[in-house]
Structure 1
């Protein structure tokens, strides 16, 4: 097996194990820890910390420890969050959420950097276009990674399904589900009673074990890798320059426009894991159905991730981004009009599958786009990506207990439209730049002024 592909698989299965635990715990926070909005507050704190760590930590840690050990150390922070859920309270969830947030940005930035380096290296060996190989590697990664939602949610559904539930849901309560939910973080009488502590210990114990296995897999089997474009020892940037690398890259006009892509990605992920699970699934069906519906989301997301990774080399990324935006546009409008009812069980899964199809676009194409456009500043670019994605999640989870669901859907719709306009502007700028071939004698001058093109 090619060494680059082998390392992609090691990273992918490490993230599969880690997010089998974290992904399912995140989906359950708004329903399982709904008292006083503890679950959503923990998630908002978590992503707020990721936002702060995105500004400073990724570039510094990756240059200091390398991608492999940055991934390994960051994974340990996720394990700590699982431990905090053994006895969820303000004194356990908030501190472990902060710790996870500190590790979240370095984890994803180092993973994206690692796969981008592997893709570029493999492309040089095989003579293929870098963007195609990087797209393919990200497709493989997200196929395996997104399937973590299947296993994590299956585990939670089987375990929480042992809790007695109320079968008959009052009609007046169904009227408050979906887009009309304005209960501001309160719990629903029809959702299952809180599972026994024994079931929670079993669930969290399994998730913690998955996290520990992920750490061991990366530490033992992942090969260290060095970016050929990284500065030599004598050319290394100062500590302060490393810390400010994320902000310096914002001088690039393309990045200032593209920050809306991860921002929207954060908003839509926050809606799915915080509002759809609580205001649609838990409200109308019960908490025991959250895992099953989210399995459909994760499975569709995983399959579409690898599909988009391969299709992009034939259709181009613009077509795939357009499909993702159109699907979300239709879903948002439909969710505004739909009145959730237990008799329409299949509809819950249809929305979940469609949302997964679109989320796969944002996850695979956003990362590949950042890795391709900012190849010489990968660490800073992916730090920016995580910063703005985290900001979207912080806002989404932060206002979750203060706004009605229909208002959140309108906000999501507005951000989607603005995001696609900004993305289209960047693609137009790129096409203009590539459509102007320069004479050989002007090449050096163009290289010197290239940075000013996007200032």
Structure 2
């Protein structure tokens, strides 16, 4: 049974890896590639607003009607549209495709998390292990593989850009970079003159990304097993699923986790949009964005599996505190750092450190939801996707309006509040455990 479970986890992981190789590669480039009138980040903001709504309405409905496997397949097809519409980027094409990706994103991540949690719980029951340990391991394996999507997606873009003669990929003629970068000042002074790669270069890149998406769909259809216990034959409608998701907010543990869950979206939005545009592209040029983000992906993937294993021995709390400490340290670093070509290595160091902290949120925060809300998984993961997506939407939404230093202060406030409220959740769990054990003789 372990071999079958592991096979399914690996198939799911590599399927989403292929899909997100394309998606993450494009997301990283949007703020620099489609920056006219803020089209790129605007499309991402719309995408995550759509995703937050779909997270409430669609996941329980689709999972209970067609099961996790076919929910994943249907969602993946929506993602492919984003690569296709980037061939002809405009407000109508990118916004429509962003809405489609958002509609598919909620069910995709809820069904993925449900699939992993059910698989882990069933194996734990069979072999007599703690369910939370098995679920942590499975999420660790998943994120070890899946988080390398940033490596492959950005490696593809970097190779395409660097193997092509200069096509406007050098650093822009911009006088203010880093924390002092303000979109309003750029609009007024017009001090950014970077170009856009040629259509030939972009078409090669988008063709590669579209192929990855198609392969992902085929892999899931052919090799992923449907699991039992993920469907319900009773009648379900959107109203009932929405009500179930909101009813889940009655659980105070869910409410306390909202800020930290939103921070997961905020911090990923920052690294994908503001760090790439205001630090990397501004100083080094678009052709270095992929290489710098590869460093993020490598540390993220390695730490995902390490933290999944380490949590068995240290518990969640020390690792959550480690992630928060690294994020706070990086935020302070971004505020005081004056990026320049002379400190080339610092770009990679900051990217790598951010990848370590992100591994905590991606691996352990997901598994925390699965462990805390085991009896109400669909509604719980719908809420997880909702609040994380809102974090993304807000981060991309204000990207074209606020100075970078203001965004960094916002990140600082959210992580501090989030980690404090997470501590309250752990305290509640500790008290509940004591009550269940009862007084000792």
TM-score tier by shorter-chain length is over 0.9
- Tell me the alpha carbon deviations over residues 98-157 of structure 1, each in whole angstroms, 9 at most, x when there is no partner: 111100000000000000001001111111100000000000000000111111101101
Change (3 A) 1:69 1:36: same
> Which of 206, 209, 213 is equivalent to 1:207?
209
| Residue 321 (str. 1) matches residue 323 (str. 2) | no
Q: CA deviation at 1:227?
A: 2.2
Cross-structure match for 1:264? 263
Paired with 1:421 and 1:103, the residues of 2 have a C-alpha distance of: 32
Change (3 A) 1:238 1:405: closer
**Unmatched runs of 5 consecutive residues or more in structure 2:** none
Cross-structure match for 1:17? 18
Cross-structure match for 1:149? 150
Cross-structure match for 2:199? 197
Change (3 A) 1:129 1:184: farther
| Residue 336 (str. 1) matches residue 328 (str. 2) | no
Q: Is the 8 A contact 1:37 1:186 kept in 2?
A: no
Cross-structure match for 2:365? 366
Paired with 1:166 and 1:79, the residues of 2 have a C-alpha distance of: 26
Q: Is the 8 A contact 2:61 2:237 kept in 1?
A: no
| Residue 431 (str. 1) matches residue 430 (str. 2) | yes
Cross-structure match for 1:182? 182
| Residue 402 (str. 1) matches residue 404 (str. 2) | no
Cross-structure match for 1:275? 274
Change (3 A) 1:62 1:186: farther
1:79-228 correspondence runs (5 A): 79-161=80-162, 162-164=164-166, 173-174=174-175, 176-184=176-184, 192-227=194-229
Paired with 1:256 and 1:290, the residues of 2 have a C-alpha distance of: 36
Change (3 A) 1:151 1:167: closer
Q: Is the 8 A contact 1:135 1:368 kept in 2?
A: yes
Cross-structure match for 2:61? 60
Q: Is the 8 A contact 2:186 2:192 kept in 1?
A: no
- Tell me the alpha carbon deviations over residues 182-216 of structure 1, each in whole angstroms, 9 at most, x when there is no partner: 02495986775211101111000000000000000
Change (3 A) 1:185 1:41: farther
Paired with 1:239 and 1:192, the residues of 2 have a C-alpha distance of: 46
Q: Is the 8 A contact 1:50 1:104 kept in 2?
A: yes
Paired with 2:246 and 2:101, the residues of 1 have a C-alpha distance of: 23
Q: CA deviation at 1:432?
A: 1.0
TM-score (norm 1): 0.92
Paired with 1:46 and 1:166, the residues of 2 have a C-alpha distance of: 27
Q: Is the 8 A contact 1:81 1:93 kept in 2?
A: yes
TM-score (norm 2): 0.95
Secondary structure (helix, strand or coil) at the match of 1:436 reads helix
Q: Is the 8 A contact 1:192 1:288 kept in 2?
A: no
May I ask how many residue pairs the two structures share in their alignment?
434
Q: Is the 8 A contact 1:19 1:148 kept in 2?
A: yes
**Unmatched runs of 5 consecutive residues or more in structure 1:** 441-455
| Residue 310 (str. 1) matches residue 309 (str. 2) | yes
Q: Is the 8 A contact 2:256 2:425 kept in 1?
A: yes
Q: Is the 8 A contact 1:34 1:185 kept in 2?
A: no
Paired with 2:111 and 2:172, the residues of 1 have a C-alpha distance of: 47
Paired with 1:226 and 1:262, the residues of 2 have a C-alpha distance of: 29
Which has the larger displacement, 237-246 or 116-125? 237-246
Paired with 1:362 and 1:21, the residues of 2 have a C-alpha distance of: 22
RMSD, matched Cα = 1.9
Paired with 1:287 and 1:356, the residues of 2 have a C-alpha distance of: 20
Q: CA deviation at 1:437?
A: 4.0
Q: CA deviation at 1:296?
A: 0.4
- Tell me the alpha carbon deviations over residues 361-402 of structure 1, each in whole angstroms, 9 at most, x when there is no partner: 000011000000000110100000000001011111111111
Change (3 A) 1:169 1:383: closer
Paired with 1:85 and 1:392, the residues of 2 have a C-alpha distance of: 24
Paired with 1:272 and 1:324, the residues of 2 have a C-alpha distance of: 15
Q: CA deviation at 1:167?
A: 6.2
Cross-structure match for 1:380? 379
Cross-structure match for 2:46? 45
Paired with 1:179 and 1:214, the residues of 2 have a C-alpha distance of: 38
